[in-house]
């Protein structure tokens, strides 16, 4: 097993978005908490299952239009 490292190219992206759906996941909860205070990130919490595009497609479109 090799550790996966993120490419440096992501640092060039000025605005990043994290959408957290409400299914139970401590790992994603920790990620959301971290990104809420990280410059350059906009976070959203959506009351849906894992598949936001299926559970709440209209809300997903709203978010995508807002961050475009």
Distance CA 65, CA 48 (A): 19
Where do the domains of the chain lie? 13-67
Tell me the whole-structure pTM to 2 decimals.
Answer: 0.80
Distance CA 11, CA 6 (A): 10
| DSSP string across the chain | -------GGGGG-S-EEEEEESS--HHHHHHHHHHHTSTTEEEEEESS-S-HHHH-HHHHHHHHHHH-
- pLDDT tens digits in sequence order for the chain, 68 residues long: 777 776 677 778 888 999 999 989 999 999 999 999 999 999 999 999 999 999 999 999 999 999 99
pLDDT at 3: 75
Distance CA 3, CA 66 (A): 34
């Amino acid at each position: 097993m090799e550790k996966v490292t993120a490419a440096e190219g992501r640092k060039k992206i000025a605005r990043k978005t994290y959408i957290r759906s409400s299914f139970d996941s401590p790992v994603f909860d920790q990620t959301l908490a971290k990104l809420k205070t990280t410059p350059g990130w906009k976070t959203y919490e959506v009351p849906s299952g894992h598949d936001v595009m299926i559970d709440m497609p209209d809300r997903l479109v709203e978010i995508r239009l807002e961050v475009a």
